[in-house]
Amino acid sequence: MLKRIIACAICLILAVTAAGCGKKNDEKSDSKILLGFSQLGSESAWRIGNTRDIEEQAVSYDISLMLENANQKQENQIDAIRRFIAYKVDVIAFSPIVEEGWDNVLLEAKNAGIPVILVDRDISTRKVDLTTCLIGADFYQEGVMAAEYLIRKADALGMEHVNIVEITGTENSTPMRQRQAGFFDTIAADGRMTVLESIDGDFLKSRGAECMRYLLKTYSDTIDVVFSHNDEMTLGALPEIEKAGLVPGKDIIIISIDGGQDAIDVLKEGRINCVVECTPKLGKALMETVLMLKAGEKVDAVIHPEEQVFSDEQDLSQLAPRGY
Ligand code: AHR
């Protein structure tokens, strides 16, 4: 009891003093499990939907959530994890912005006896037993599905050469690496496909627009396809294509990833051609895993949600609202 009171007092002091410190959705009581979650930022509708889902699911599973938003900075995430350790939370979860650089802080969590769950993204420098599991999308498969759509589309249009530009997500992040690998591996056997350039759009709408302006200036009307690693960048790129006098969805095939409502709406309008789903709804699996860990049960090393492809090959008129 005394330990809990001291931990809560430290929490309160740090919450007031630390810049960017997050919030708790509930008061910690001794009977409740306390989960510390470090979200990487708010760069996209996907990320905002993911944060909301985790908050809602924590409430419905009666788990106290200590949530911190790192505003796109790895050092903020490392600081947040250290605060969770100081608070003696029961479980730590975090969405690593990039794959490298976590070993030291994860070793500190391990030494404190606090289990760590990776949410959404993976780490590449994992030492044995530093994390318990990963709950997130199969990003490689998303890249494969995007490429398979492109091959079907090129067949349907009878295209002999396909010039592709790729706007990637944050450099060295799991979705950037895996989506690119899945896409490239799948088009590799198709002699029609040429990747003119891959450019880092950092998953941001403003960067999507900037990248598209640069790509149009560099390759003008030779671009057949834009493969964009998320909806946010796609939505930034579309007006730039239109300003250049081209018709997105017709003059240029547009393939996006996420499947948020705004992207589905422009898909229905015919301004993009395909959206590979990446669901942000990871909260339920996270809370169930937290409960299992606290009960001393074994958890699966990797938990991937089911995902699908939305495209101009389908009738989307009855598609339910996406919720993000
Ligand atoms: O890690 C998931 C990716 O991060 C989503 O595709 C993107 O929208 C988000 O910013």
Ligand 1 atom nearest the C-alpha of 46 is 8
Class of the CATH domain delimited by 33-137+280-307:
alpha beta
Query: What's the pLDDT tens digit per position in 85-95?
Result: 999 999 999 99
Sheet holding 253-258, edge to edge: 193-200, 162-168, 225-228, 253-258, 274-277, 309-311
The whole-number pLDDT of residue 125 equals 76
The neighbouring-strand residues paired with 164 are 195, 225
Query: Given this model, what pLDDT does residue 175 score?
Result: 98
Higher pLDDT, 28 or 218: 218
Please write the tens of the pLDDT for every residue from 276-306. 999 999 999 999 999 999 999 999 999 999 9
DSSP strand pairing (309-311 vs 274-277): antiparallel
- CATH superfamily of domain region 139-278: Response regulator (3.40.50.2300)
Query: What is residue 29's predicted lDDT score, i.e. its pLDDT?
Result: 55
Residue 225 has pLDDT above 70, yes or no: yes
Q: Residue 46 C-alpha to ligand 1 middle, in angstroms?
A: 6
Atom of ligand 1 nearest to the CA of 257: 6
Answer yes or no: are the C-beta atoms of 171 and 201 closer than 8 Å.
no
Cβ–Cβ contacts within 10 Å for residue 85, how many? Answer: 18
Check residue 65 and give its pLDDT. 98
Mutation test residue for ligand 1: of 258, 262, 276, 307, the one with most atoms within 8 Å of CB: 258
For ligand 1, the distance from its centroid to the CA atom of residue 142, given in whole angstroms, is 12
Sequence-distant (6+) residues with CB within 8 A of 80 are 22, 36, 38, 68, 70, 94
pLDDT digits (tens, 9 = 90+) for 244-271: 999 999 999 999 999 999 999 999 999 9
| Nearest residue to 135 via CA among 292, 258, 305, 297 | 305
Domain boundaries, the chain: 33-137+280-307, 139-278
Predicted confidence at residue 11, as pLDDT, reads 45
Reduce the DSSP state of residue 189 to 3 states and report it: coil
Helices (H), the chain: 2-17, 45-60, 74-87, 103-111, 139-157, 174-187, 205-219, 231-243, 261-268, 283-294
Q: Counting atoms of ligand 1 from 1, which one is nearest the CA of 174?
A: 1
Going from the Cα of 66 to the center of ligand 1, the distance in angstroms, rounded, reads 22
33-137+280-307 matches 139-278 in fold: yes
The atom number, within ligand 1, closest to the CA of 41 reads 10
Question: In this structure, which amino acid lies at residue 165?
Answer: V
Residues with CB under 6 A from ligand 1: 43-44, 46-47, 120-121, 175, 203, 230, 232, 257-258, 278
CA 106 / ligand 1 centre spacing (Å): 23
Can you tell me the distance from the alpha carbon of 299 to that of 296, in angstroms, rounded to the nearest whole number? 9
